[in-house]
Amino acid sequence: MNPLLKYGLIVGAAYFLFRDQLAVMLPSLFGAHPPAPQPGQATTSSSASSPPPPPATGQTPTSAATTKDLLLKWAQANAFYHQQNGLMNAWQWGYGYNAVRGGNTDFASQFADPSRLMTLDEFWTGVQAAGLSGLPAPRRSAAARAWSY
């Protein structure tokens, strides 16, 4: 095989495999502007003398304490929370967590008896003991998702 053709095919395959990472690292080559910052994400500015203002709530939107507060507000807005005197099982708390934060995490498998009624603090302690912090996993590239387990 012609060496020029061989290396051309290798470079082309690498481009198609890693084009999303290349677009993020070198946006000017792809004619795109840098991505806009997400809400709550610090922005870089040309003046280094002024730090970014703190969030209005004092916490970032992805903090575990904010997630716990949102989960409590979600529960208090539902009738079954009040009917069970503020106690829910792991499936109900997990459903609320997925409704508040998105995703499809199975929290019931973290508990010996997921049908036992528990408070939010008991649920949160069990979830954190299992190593789940309430923070979302960082977004992975298409190549990382394709080649990982």
Q: What digits encode the pLDDT tens for the residues 20-35?
A: 777 677 766 666 555 5
CB atoms within 10 A of CB 65: 13
Task: Report the alpha-carbon distance of residue 39 to residue 101 in Å, rounded.
Answer: 15
Place of tokens 């923070």: 135
4 Ramachandran zone, left/alpha/beta (phi>0; psi -120 to 50): alpha
The tens digit of pLDDT for each residue in 49-98 reads 444 444 444 444 456 667 888 889 999 998 888 888 989 998 888 888 88
HSE of 28, CA atoms in CB hemisphere, 13 A: 0
Tell me the longest C-alpha to C-alpha distance in the chain. 75
What percent of the chain is modeled with pLDDT above 90? Answer: 10
Instruction: Provide mean pLDDT across the span 109-136.
Output: 79
Give one DSSP letter per residue of 40-72, joined into a string: T-----S-SSSPPPPPTTSS-TTSHHHHHHHHH
Contact of 93 with 71, CB cutoff 8 Å: yes
Which residues face 88 on adjacent strands? 118
